[in-house]
Structures are given as C-alpha cells and as structure tokens.
Amino acid sequence: METKVGLNFQKIPHNVWILGFVSLLTDISSETIHSLLPLFLVSVLGAGVLTVGLIEGIAEATASVFKIFSGALSDYLGQRKGLAVFGYGISTLVKPLFALSTSPNWVLIARFGDRLGKGIRVAPRDALVADATPVGMRGSAYGLRQSLDTIGAFLGPLAAFSLMALSGNNFRLVFWLAVIPGVLAVILLALGIRETGTTAHKQSRSHPLHFQALASLSREYWILVVVALLFNLGNSSNAFLLLRASEVGISATLVPLTLLVMNLAYSLSAYPAGILSDQLGRVKLLVVGFLLYALVYLGFAFVQSPWQVWSLFALYGLHLGISKGVLLALVSDKVPAALRGTAFGFLNLAVGVALLPASLLAGGLWHQFGSTITFIIGSIFALVAALALLFNNFE
C-alpha cells in the first residue's frame, strides 16, 4: 500500500498542485477571519445568534447560485483559468471590509462579496482538476487538493489564535493581516496554472444550460445532486459549532483552535480517503462519511465538557476528509468532460439552496429550543442522505 500511495503522489498533475497551494493560501486568509467572525459579530457588534445564521446562510447561498453560471460559462468558453482568477480576486478585494465593519450589515456585505468570489471560482477550479487528471486518479487528485486546502484552513485558526493573543484580542488588526495570504494566492494562480481544456471543450460551443445538454447528464449524477441537497439541509454553518464550543465552556481565545483540530483531521484524512476511493469505490466511503457526520452532530447535541468538544471537532474533520473530495471525484466520473463545469455548478447550487434554510433553521431552533434540538435535526438529515445513497447504489 505504501508504494502505491507514493506513486499516486508523484503522478499528481502540475495544475492540481498549484490549485492546492492557491487553496492553502486562500484558506489561511479566509479561516483566520471566519474562525473569529461569529464572536466578533456577537461580542463586538452586538448581533444575535439568529443574525449570525442569516448572514452565514445568505453568504453561502450566494456562492452556490453563482457557481452554476461560472461553471456553465467555463464549459461554453472552454476556458476555466480566467474565471478562477477573477473569483479569487473578488474574494481578496472585499476582505478589508471585515476590518472596517461597524455593524452586522457591513459584515453581511463583506461575506456576500467573499462568497460571490467563491461562487465564481469553485466550479471552474473543480473542473480544472478533472480536466488534468486521469479517471483512475481523480480520487487522489481531489483528495490532495482538499488536503492542501485544509492545511490552510488548519493554519488560519492557528494564526487567529496567535494574533489574537499577541494583539490583545484586536479583531480588526487580525482581519487586516489576513488579507496578505489572499493576495499571494491570486498571484500564484495567475502565474502558475496552465489551461488544459479538452478537445471537446474547444470544439463545442453549444449552450451548456440548454435542455438537451442537461439531459445528457446521467441519472446517477442527478441522484448525487438530490443526496447533496438532503444532506446539506442539516448542514448549518460552522459558526454554530463554534458557538456550541463557547456554550460548553471553551474560552473565546481557544475557540479558534477547535477549527484547527478539525482541519488537522481533515487534512490528514482527505488524501488517503481519495486513494481508497480510487481503489475500493466512492459510494461506500461517502455513506461512511455521512453516517459519521450524523454521529458527530448527535455528539454536539449532548456534549457536556470541553474535552468532548475537542474530540467531536476531530471526528468532524474526519467526516470532511472522507466526504468532500470523494463526492467531487464521484461527480466527475459521472458526467461528460464538456459539461464538468456545469455539473459542478448544479451540485453547488443544490448545496447553496439547502444552506440558507439550514442556517436559518439552525438559528431559529437554537433561539427557540436551544442547541440540543438544533444538532439532533442536523443528524437526522445526514442519516436520510446516507440511506438515499444506499438505496440508490450505482457502483
């Protein structure tokens, strides 16, 4: 097994490495801010929990709606790099607004712009990975990109913790410093990526959102879209996990480190999970990932002490490592090359359509009934999604 893993690692295409390091730098920037944002909203700007849910839900829904258009446009043009650079650039340009915010409305504008950039870049970026990678290595390629991405997500909360401690909990200074790695990511992407559009992309100028084009997407693909929708109806913003950690007794200074633990587990598991999906099949691993999520959310519902919170964040990271890259590889296996951007766009639209009501539901349930019911409902949705995959096993 060790030799096989090494060979896969060496054969990962150049574009996947570049995209991975771009994601690493971007996540250092974003997660430094996001790990502190719920506490900043509540403790500095005086926002309520329901407001946090509204901001997070609108932001994530915005990203997902735009993914479908950028993905389809990248298919139509046969050019993905320009859209990816544009999306990363927008996210970087709006980040100073977090430091300048004087009310929750400013945070909403900043989050909207940040997620707008994400919405533009993600589908073309995910399609770039599939364009550059042979079918039998896509699990490994997506897993490696996710691992590098998550190393950045690991370093972001660590930077937030360190900078908060050094600055005497100066949220605004930390937000300013977080802009720097975002700028570096845009430069690396612009200089390092090689466009690898296939012949099918270059020859086809048909509209990817036309009914005939969408009809060519397989039944298996649409099942995956529905499953992703079901799962994400219970997958509220990580802001609620951070608030739960604070509720159980973890101090404001230590709260960002919970995301560090989560992302360490995520980064260590994503690449091995991708390799396993190449060798053993993707659906089985995805079911395991969803079931693990259901158990973790049940744990958050009934957690009573800080050490249990740390363990649950680690298991949540393992769920992400098993599920995220494997789902992307599974989608890329089930769609034509010329419609990859569109397919990833629709998948992310389904996720976004679910995330707004999911975050609003979580905020409303928490406000009315407390955190226990909030996490139990999330667990139930994950269980339903896992059962839907099992009953429609198409591998």
Amino acid at 311: S
Residue 124 near residue 223, CB atoms below 8 Å:
no
* DSSP letter (8 states) at residue 251: -
Compute the residue count for the chain: 395
Per-residue pLDDT of the chain (395 residues; tens, 9 = 90+): 343 444 455 578 889 999 999 999 999 998 888 878 877 877 777 666 667 667 766 666 666 667 777 888 888 777 888 889 999 999 999 999 988 888 777 887 888 888 889 888 888 898 899 888 888 888 889 989 989 988 887 788 888 888 988 888 888 899 999 999 999 999 999 998 887 655 344 444 455 555 556 666 778 888 888 898 888 888 877 778 888 888 888 887 788 788 778 878 988 999 999 889 888 888 889 999 999 999 999 998 898 888 888 999 999 999 999 998 899 988 888 888 778 888 888 887 787 777 778 877 887 887 788 778 888 988 998 999 999 888 876 55
Residue 72 near residue 95, CB atoms below 8 Å:
no
299/142 Cα distance (integer angstroms): 29
State how far Cα 6 lies from the chain centre: 26
Residue 274 near residue 146, CB atoms below 8 Å:
yes
Among candidates 299, 304, 308, which has minimal Cα distance to 248? Answer: 304
- Sign of the dihedral defined by the CA atoms of residues 55, 94, 235, 247, in that order: negative
User: Which residue has tokens 């950045």?
Assistant: 152
Distances (CA, A) of 279 to 71, 93, 138, 204: 28, 41, 11, 33
pTM for this entry: 0.77
Residue 282 near residue 312, CB atoms below 8 Å:
no
Q: pLDDT at position 259, please?
A: 78
Q: pLDDT at position 103, please?
A: 79
Look at domain 9-191+209-391 and name its CATH class.
mainly alpha
Distances (CA, A) of 56 to 60, 313, 358: 6, 20, 10
Q: pLDDT at position 200, please?
A: 43
Among candidates 139, 122, 142, 120, which has minimal Cα distance to 15? Answer: 142
Q: pLDDT at position 4, please?
A: 46
